[in-house]
Structure 1
Amino acid sequence: MSTTLIEEFEKHREISPEGATFLTELEASIGKDLWLSAGGHWAKISIVKFRRVAMEKLAAELRGNSRDDYKNAWTEVVRDFHQGFWGEHRLGKKEKKPRTEEQIIFWELFSYIWILLQALFIVKTLIFYLGLKSAQEGTTDGKISVALAMLFSFVSLGWFAYRKSKNSNKTEAMKFVGWIVLGILLGPSLFNVGMPSWFSSVSQAAGGLFLFFAGWEMRFLNLKRDVRFYSILFVGSFVFPCVVGYFLLGQKMFLALAMGISALPVAIQLLKEKGLYGTLLAKRTITLASLCDICPWIILIFLLPKQDIKAWVLSHWVVLAFFVGLAVGRFKTLQMTPAILNLQMWGLAPFFFVGLGWKVDIVELFSLPVFLTLLAVAIVTKSLGTYVASRCAGEPHQSAMDLAVLLNARGAMEVLAAHFAYRAGLIDGASFAGLVLVGIITSLMAVPLVRKAKAPHSESVDNCVERC
């Protein structure tokens, strides 16, 4: 307990040496005298109240300072307790111990690991067991068996997604993952549904508006006042992953850049959902994620052959919308109203990200060694570089860990950059498929790993934007 019986008693009157001895002995038996003898299960808050009220009533009943006086007074206190339990009620079942932060993180990650194992092994086994070969030969029984296995897969994954969205607010930052996966399922990876002729144009228009808002939303907070901090963190969170990635990934410049990308939209949404959006951590994360978003796009232009830059830019005008939004944001701050958020999430994102996924043949392009290499290099270099740089800049351990996790989430920006680099011939198909999965996985990793706020916020980011 937080306080001893002697400390509780002394809040009401002074205690004699005999009384101190009595209460020291009572520490071991107070439960048997009160709540344990009453039977049932009691909440911890009720037990704390019992100890507090018991000492208050003992002080009121006490008529002397001898041990017998304390014993007689305690008998009256016990009798009074059993008459009505001092307004408290038993629990229907035993109260569970609250989970520690480490336990919460473990079980959150375990649920994702389990569903991944199920998708990779259990469903695959069912498909083969139920007759994939006969389905390829065109038999009706084989097709029905495979359909049942696929139905089991979709129902299982859908139930997992439903439980996650019902029990938490973590799905808002991850909806783009669902749109991309839907597009991949519709494309040549699985169902091979032909894309309507009008969809590509609508997808590009939606993408232009989506990137325009993404650029407009970018913010550079306290950049001039905290030059030293941001310089150190930029080296750790962007330069270090790019340099290490360049030498570990075959000296391919774009793959090196992809190691340094961070996803500003994912970071912002996670900060809001964790109750951290008005903190110093949020301001620094937003500024660094903005820097790690913009630099790869700028460098990407210079990676193209000079004779191809004009044609590439004209054919990828949606990228220009990002820089237009960025320029507009320097003069007028974007107020993210519910209407704009709904337009982004339900109007623009579905068309844009479904269109991106629809064109990807993950099954054909995927290479496990390439994917595992990209994933390992991306996570280790980004997390380690950001954490070490944060500590060198004077950040405490927990803030450095949060910064590392938030900036490690690559999200939509990784997918977009990989898409345009693949179309420009800067990376091969296996690297493209690997980067798409890295963007998705690193975003999902950030959801359970970022701690929730434990204290009220001192200041909102919007107020800081106005001052800067």
Structure 2
Amino acid sequence: MQRRLGMMTFPVYVLLGLILGPSGLHLSAPPALLFKICAAGFLFVSGMECSFQGMGRHLKVVLGISLGSFVIPLALGLFVAPLFQFEDFVSSWVFATALSVSALPVIIQILRERSLLNHLLGHIIIAAASLCDIAAWACFMFVLPQEQQATWIWSHFPVLFFFLGLLWKLFLPLPGLFLRNIEIASRWIFAPIFFIGIGLQLNIWKSFNLWLALGTIALAFAGKIIGGLLAAKLLKLPKQEAWIISVALSARGAMEVLLAQLAFHSGLISEMWFTILVIMAIITSLTAGPWLRYLQKKPA
């Protein structure tokens, strides 16, 4: 499914949007309705991709890793939010949630490239990333605007498709032909339009703070690495496996970008923070693969 959206693909789409948008050629962003439809399609497939293989026999490890990899970054984000110019709970919560996301589609691609996808360690990482994704979207829905019922439904509509895809996979197995068609649509229609549209909305010359961006990237790595390593230590996992799990879960990727976009359009974060979170998603995704390569070559 979305695993075919490779580690490098979504940054390329965002970069193309940057070139075409206000950071480059100043072309207009796509219509809001088209944007929401593509976001919903992308999230639906992402929900269907969530995997819990290996959870039955290794439930304690999966739950422990996902808890450490989600709660520690969330707590760290809430703690430092006032230092990062967040003055209210809602924006602080969005920032903390963004630090807690793990991008399942990117992680699957990274694990495939490192020949870990079909190993027990890969199954544990994918299951933990799935739980982190579900927890992040549940936390995000908690702070979306709810002033009016119609507004609530419209603002939640893309996010609801993530849970719809998840439930559909669990309880209503789909025919193979339909799955192949929706995979193709997600790869060649939903994802390109969505991520190019993200780039079209970014103006890195107008709304960017280098020091806040560097601080956010450092926090993004620190939260996932510390949380993963602490959980792995409590679970008595080997040191090399603990590092591989923690680094793999640090990739934010497409899910982070989508969360930032929805938060920005819901008025929960500023344009500057929208830009910073997208850049953080790209950096953490591009870094995870080479870091895992180094860890695998390093003697246990």
* TM-score, with length taken from structure 2: 0.86
8 Å contact kept, 2:102–2:250: yes
Alignment-derived partner of residue 233 in structure 2: 391
Matched, 1:264 2:104: yes
Q: Write the distance in 1 (CA, Å) between the matches of 2:149 and 2:277.
A: 23
Q: Write the distance in 1 (CA, Å) between the matches of 2:295 and 2:79.
A: 38
Distance 1:316 1:231, change over 3 A: closer
CA offset at residue 308 of structure 1?
5.0
- Which piece of structure 1 moves more, 418-427 or 343-352? 343-352
8 Å contact kept, 2:103–2:251: yes
Alignment-derived partner of residue 445 in structure 1: 287
Alignment-derived partner of residue 232 in structure 1: 64
Q: 2:80 aligns with which of 248, 251, 276?
A: 248
CA offset at residue 318 of structure 1?
1.9
For 1:67-117, what per-residue CA distance to the aligned partner results, in whole angstroms no more than 9, with x for missing partners?
xxxxxxxxxxxxxxxxxxxxxxxxxxxxxxxxxxxxxxxxxxxxxxxxxxx
Alignment-derived partner of residue 168 in structure 2: 328
8 Å contact kept, 2:5–2:106: no
Q: Write the distance in 1 (CA, Å) between the matches of 2:144 and 2:183.
A: 34
Give the alignment of 1:21-100 within 5 angstroms. none
CA offset at residue 388 of structure 1?
2.4
Alignment-derived partner of residue 15 in structure 2: 181
CA offset at residue 340 of structure 1?
5.0
8 Å contact kept, 2:144–2:155: no
What letter matches 1:296 in structure 2? A
CA offset at residue 228 of structure 1?
2.4
What letter matches 1:246 in structure 2? L
For 1:100-136, what per-residue CA distance to the aligned partner results, in whole angstroms no more than 9, with x for missing partners?
xxxxxxxxxxxxxxxxxxxxxxxxxxxxxxxxxxxxx
Matched, 1:191 2:12: no
For 1:148-202, what per-residue CA distance to the aligned partner results, in whole angstroms no more than 9, with x for missing partners?
xxxxxxxxxxxxxxxxxxxxxx993220111111112211122111346xx5433
Q: Write the distance in 1 (CA, Å) between the matches of 2:258 and 2:6.
A: 19
Alignment-derived partner of residue 139 in structure 1: none
Matched, 1:216 2:48: yes
* TM-score, with length taken from structure 1: 0.56
For 1:36-79, what per-residue CA distance to the aligned partner results, in whole angstroms no more than 9, with x for missing partners?
xxxxxxxxxxxxxxxxxxxxxxxxxxxxxxxxxxxxxxxxxxxx
Matched, 1:417 2:251: no
8 Å contact kept, 2:73–2:100: yes
- Which piece of structure 1 moves more, 289-298 or 437-446? 289-298
- The 3-state SS of whatever aligns with 2:268 is coil
CA offset at residue 452 of structure 1?
9.0
What letter matches 2:13 in structure 1? W
Distance 1:428 1:203, change over 3 A: closer
CA offset at residue 408 of structure 1?
0.0
CA offset at residue 339 of structure 1?
5.7
Show structure 2 runs of 5+ residues with no match: 83-88
Distance 1:187 1:394, change over 3 A: same
Give the alignment of 1:148-167 within 5 angstroms. none
What letter matches 1:351 in structure 2? I
Alignment-derived partner of residue 205 in structure 1: 37
Q: Write the distance in 2 (CA, Å) between the matches of 1:309 and 1:298.
A: 18
CA offset at residue 453 of structure 1?
11
For 1:237-271, what per-residue CA distance to the aligned partner results, in whole angstroms no more than 9, with x for missing partners?
00011101111122611111111100000011111
- The 3-state SS of whatever aligns with 1:220 is coil
Q: Write the distance in 2 (CA, Å) between the matches of 1:275 and 1:330.
A: 27
- The 3-state SS of whatever aligns with 2:127 is helix
What letter matches 1:405 in structure 2? V
Matched, 1:346 2:178: no
8 Å contact kept, 2:155–2:266: no
8 Å contact kept, 2:72–2:226: no
Q: Write the distance in 1 (CA, Å) between the matches of 2:21 and 2:158.
A: 22
Q: Write the distance in 1 (CA, Å) between the matches of 2:133 and 2:148.
A: 23
Distance 1:312 1:365, change over 3 A: farther
Alignment-derived partner of residue 98 in structure 1: none
Distance 1:271 1:391, change over 3 A: same
CA offset at residue 297 of structure 1?
1.1
Q: Which has the larger radius of gyration?
A: 1
Alignment-derived partner of residue 96 in structure 1: none
- The 3-state SS of whatever aligns with 1:221 is coil
Q: CA RMSD in A?
A: 2.5
Give the alignment of 1:366-405 within 5 angstroms. 366-405=208-247
What letter matches 1:288 in structure 2? A
Alignment-derived partner of residue 271 in structure 2: 429
CA offset at residue 221 of structure 1?
2.5
Aligned length: 283
Show structure 1 runs of 5+ residues with no match: 1-169, 455-468
What letter matches 2:114 in structure 1? K
Q: Write the distance in 1 (CA, Å) between the matches of 2:149 and 2:60.
A: 35
CA offset at residue 332 of structure 1?
4.5
Q: Write the distance in 2 (CA, Å) between the matches of 1:398 and 1:269.
A: 20
8 Å contact kept, 2:104–2:129: yes
